[in-house]
Amino acid sequence: MKFSAIQRLTLLDYPGHTACTLFTPGCNFRCHYCHNSEFVLPEKLKKIEKDFIPEESIFAFLQKRKGLLEGVCITGGEPTIHRGLPEFIKKVRKLGYNIKLDTNGSNPKMLHQLIDEKLVDYVAMDVKSGNREELIINNDSKQFCGVSVDESALRKSRDLLMNSGIEYEFRTTLVKEFHDDYEFINILQCISGAKRYYLQNFRSRGGCLDKKWEQYSGFSEKELHKRMITAKKYVENCEVRI
């Protein structure tokens, strides 16, 4: 595998751990509010391809950081589109690192493999909209993801995590123009009983993948707190990430 970037130290990406973050190139979604378009869009990836980081350099870095870092976060883009991900993680595991994976949930088969082979310790999955099967008329997630989405795959990944026994979190980037009270309750009903749920406020600044979304807005601190209180009726723990 090759990686599009590395953050050599993070105290935020992996709760409770000092870690580094590896960014995989490419994604099967085109989320309108994505701020990592340089790691998603093929035309932008092509411009930085010469600077991709090979596995050898990653492992040299991890060898030097043994005893200083506790974990490795793998994010993207979307990591699970890479067939070499399980083998890469196995090698990282041998160095003694814990693994945290960020995913959009579109590849439950890969996610099942990683959990079944005990290759991940913590998984963070995005929940962009409510996708209860009985409510879906059209492709509900498309308004956020920019492409048609297999809603059943998202549900499988969600259910897989909730029954996996590993540490996990769900998270939603809240956009005021889309996540009204009705939609928010739909999301909560989808993840009812979950261990951790994080509310992330939408930010238009910094460059959305879809420039039209820069006209939309996030919620006020008071509004986010109110939603957090509502969420705690459905999940074990809910926090706001500003």
Distance CA 237, CA 229 (A): 10
In sign, the C-alpha dihedral spanning 205, 209, 215, 218 is: negative
Residue 205 scores a pLDDT above 90: no
> Which of 124, 141, 140, 193 has its CA nearest to residue 162?
193
H-state helical runs in the chain:
42-48, 55-64, 85-94, 108-116, 142-145, 151-162, 181-190, 221-231
| Cα first-last separation, the chain | 32
Distance CA 102, CA 76 (A): 8
Distance CA 46, CA 43 (A): 5
Question: What band does 131 get if pLDDT is binned at 50, 70 and 90?
Answer: low
Distance CA 212, CA 204 (A): 10
pLDDT for residue 115 = 98
Total-model pTM: 0.94
Instruction: Give tens-digit pLDDT for 139-168.
Output: 456 778 889 889 899 999 999 999 999 999
More confident of the two residues 65 and 136 = 65
- Of all residues in the chain, the percent with pLDDT exceeding 90 is 83
Question: What band does 133 get if pLDDT is binned at 50, 70 and 90?
Answer: low
Instruction: Give tens-digit pLDDT for 36-64.
Output: 889 999 999 999 999 999 999 999 999 99
Distance CA 213, CA 194 (A): 30
| Beta-carbon contacts of residue 220 (< 8 Å; ≥ 6 apart) | none
Residue 180 scores a pLDDT above 50: yes
Residue 197 scores a pLDDT above 80: yes
CATH class label, 2-241: alpha beta
Instruction: Give tens-digit pLDDT for 59-105.
Output: 999 999 999 999 999 999 999 999 999 999 999 999 999 999 999 99
> Which of 151, 193, 198 has its CA nearest to residue 173?
198
User: Which sequence spans correspond to the domains of the chain?
Assistant: 2-241
**6: amino acid identity, one letter:** I
Residue 134 scores a pLDDT above 80: no
Mean pLDDT of the chain, nearest integer:
93
pLDDT for residue 136 = 41
